[in-house]
Amino acid sequence: MNPRELIVRRVAKELNDGDVVNLGIGLPTLVANHVPKGMKVIFHSENGFVGLGPTPPQGEEDKDLVNAGGQYATVNPGGAFFDSAMSFALIRGGHVDVTVLGALEADENGNLANWMVPGKMVPGMGGAMDLTVGAKKVIVAMEHLAKGGAPKILKQCTLPLTAQKEVDMIITEMAVIRVTNEGLVLEEIAPEFSLEDVQKATEAILKISPNLKKIEVE
Amino acid sequence: MSKLTDINSIINRINNGAVLMIGGFLGVGTPENIIDALVAKGVKNLTIITNDTSFPGRGISKLVAAKQIKKLIVSHIGTNPETGRQMNAGEIEVELVPQGTLAERIRAGGSGLGGILTPTGVGTIVEEGKKILEIDGKKYLLELPLKADVAFLKAYMADEEGNLVYHASARNFNPIMAMAADYVVAEVEHFHTAGNIPPDEVMTTGILVNSVIFEDSKDAMKGGA
């Protein structure tokens, strides 16, 4: 299984029946394809609705209905549209159960950096800061290493933060890591990697869970 | 008296240096005909409060390309490389605001509030220069209200009273911007005589809307990424 596929399938296992979930742009968006069968998850789209559905077939697009990445989308029966103030009130107010975001860096204090690289790339934070602060559970879904092989899971983020001490879990193609008050706990490891491989690819020191398991996905 | 207005008489009100709110999220829910008219008039040094600068060739990006903007107050510029280029070249000032904070600052501006307290941005560079208040042991940033001279909205339908109905995700920032400007203009796709929108279905009351622009243009029908 390719690394990105493994990540999104493993993230999908974190969802619970009835959860309201916001998926970030890029890799996290693909989690929607792997919601466990028989489970109902309601997707929140921060541009102003709940009940985000699949991409419409060609020719059936509605020019006024897009996801938070600006791509044509659909709304499922039972969904609802609202304005941006309401959308973010839902986020900050604790009405969104889970958010899944990509990251440039994450660290052992639960900090996250994903919105700018000073002097290089300043796209803006969009809704990421509100989602990270407001969602009940924050999952970082990303490839374990940066392009070029540098670690992204650090003792301390070097880039400007998106939010402080808000990340609950980090899921990569190598590992499932839980952020705790005592630091990062390695809970699951991909079958093809050793503990040594994962620690070598991680700047922060990983504590090994007594219940360490192999990552299993459907 | 109907609020239906000619687009040119609206654009004539807009002068260099105006502060404008413009609805939309990545171009969806953005009044394209009004933007085209602003580009044609060539007003300069605008301050634009809006969520993002859309994709090249669409929505706010047309005002960026025509170099009519002095300052942007936005949450995201990543989908339009020209905005980043002008920012890095010092040609345009960009104040980046978390999207939920942007929405609440606009809401505060239109609701008579002196600001809002939000946990968003605490411990990040967003908190720089802002008052931090601790309430029940949790830190919040004091974020100040935003107001504009004119708000340009996009709605699906209006009636003569200026009552508005939005469609799908094109609602986004439009209803809150309708509250926060001295003069409010809505560009719509459908126009009805008074009383033809049931009060239960009105999303923005006509008391907030000064003028309605009904432009049956093919260009306004384009959408999506």
* DSSP codes joined into one string, B150-213: EEEEEEEEEETT--EE--GGG-TTHHHHTTSEEEEEEEEEEEE-TT-S-GGG-SB-GGG--EEE
The second-level CATH assignment, the architecture, of A3-214 is 3-Layer(aba) Sandwich (3.40)
Range of the domain at B126: 7-214
| Window 43-82 of B, Cβ < 8 Å to A | 51-52, 55, 74-79
- Which residues of A does the annotation mark as catalytic? 46
**B104 with A134: Cβ contact below 8 A:** no
Q: Does B190 contact chain A (CB < 8 Å)?
A: no
Whether B220 is in a domain gets the answer no
Q: Could you tell me the CA-to-CA distances from A19 to A11, A99, A117, A152, B109 in Å, in that order?
A: 13, 10, 33, 29, 33
Question: Among residues A192, A139, A147, A143, which one has the least CA distance to residue A167?
Answer: A139
Residue B216: the pLDDT is: 60
B143-A168-A12 Cα angle (round to 5): 115
Mean pLDDT of A162-188: 98
Which one of B99, B121, B175 has the shortest CB-CB distance to A127?
A: B99
pLDDT given at position B217:
45
Residues 2-21, chain B, touching A (beta carbon < 8 A): none
Rg of the Cα trace of chain B? 18
> Which has the closest alpha carbon to A14: A157, A156, A118, A169?
A169
Cα torsion A153, A157, A162, A164: sign:
positive
- What pLDDT sits at residue B220? 40
| Cβ proximity of B172 and B28 under 8 Å | yes
Task: Give me the pLDDT at residue B215, please.
Answer: 73
Q: How far is CA A218 from the centre of its chain?
A: 19
HSE-up of residue A134 (Cα within 13 Å, Cβ side)? 26
Partnered with residue B132 across adjacent β-strands are B141
Window B:145-164, CB contacts with A under 8 Å? 156
CATH number for the domain including B209?
A: 3.40.1080.10
**B219 lies in some domain:** no
Does some domain include residue B1?
Answer: no
B225 is a domain residue: no
User: Which of A66, A68, A88 shows the shortest C-beta gap to B100?
Assistant: A88
Does B171 reach chain A within 8 Å, measured CB to CB? yes
Give tens-digit pLDDT for B32-91.
Answer: 999 999 999 999 999 999 999 999 999 999 999 999 999 999 999 999 999 999 999 999
Q: Which residues of A touch B75 (CB under 8 A)?
A: 124-127
Q: Which of residues 112-151 of B touch A (CB under 8 A)?
A: 118-126
Instruction: Pick the residue from chain A with its C-alpha nearest to B73.
Output: A124
- Give me chain A's average pLDDT, please: 97
* CB spacing of B176 vs A84 below 8 angstroms: yes
pLDDT of residue B57: 96
ipTM rounded to 2 decimals: 0.96
Name the 3-class secondary structure at A165: coil
CA–CA separation, B50 and B30 (whole Å) = 10
* CA–CA gap between residue A65 and residue A75 (Å, rounded): 8
Q: Which strand (E) or helix (H) includes residue B22?
A: strand B19-22
Q: What pTM was computed for the model?
A: 0.96
Give Cα separations from A156 to A134, A172, A176, B25 (angstroms): 22, 18, 19, 33
pLDDT at B27 over 90: yes
Domain count along chain B: 1
Inter-chain CB proximity B120 and A133 less than 8 Å: yes
Torsion of CA A49, A50, A51, A55, to 10 degrees: 40
